[in-house]
Structure 1
Amino acid sequence: MKFSEAILLSLSVAFFIIAVHQTFVLGIAQSYWLFMLSVTMLLLNRLAKKKQDEKEVQQEQVAVGKKINKHKTTTKVKSRK
């Protein structure tokens, strides 16, 4: 987990706890925006994880592609006539 993902997750949990407290004190109408902020942080965290996973997969594909190309250039193919 990257630092930015940890921060987003922590903020999401913190806003949710604050929202629950404000719901008991003021009611749901006054704390709705805090719940939405919490959900937004969760979605941003999910998006960051998805981008990181896609980046890792792309790097793995490039690494595998380099190995295949290296193998093709080092092996000699005899032509039949």
Structure 2
Amino acid sequence: MKLLDYILFSTAVALFIIGIYETMVMGVGHAYGIFMVSLGLLFVFGYRKSKREQKK
């Protein structure tokens, strides 16, 4: 794993935790954007991981 992969994954996890907190405090409607950004980062992380495995 490269540094960018660590940053992508850790940011996605952190945003997911923030989204859970926002859901408990304000509701799902306010945290929806945070969850979508987190999910997008996880998709990018998975894409980069699969591309790296295909090269090997």
- Please give the TM-score of this superposition, normalised by the length of structure 2: 0.92
What is the aligned-residue RMSD (CA, Å)? 0.8
Aligned match of 2:17 = 17
Identity %: 38
- Please give the TM-score of this superposition, normalised by the length of structure 1: 0.65
Who wins on radius of gyration, i.e. which is larger?
Answer: 1
Alignment partner of 1:37: what SS? Answer: helix
Gaps of 5+ in 2: none
Aligned match of 1:51 = 51
Alignment partner of 1:15: what SS? Answer: helix
Which one has more relative contact order, counting CA pairs under 8 Å at least 6 apart? 2
Gaps of 5+ in 1: 57-81
Which runs of at least 4 in structure 1 moved beyond 2 Å after TM superposition?
A: none
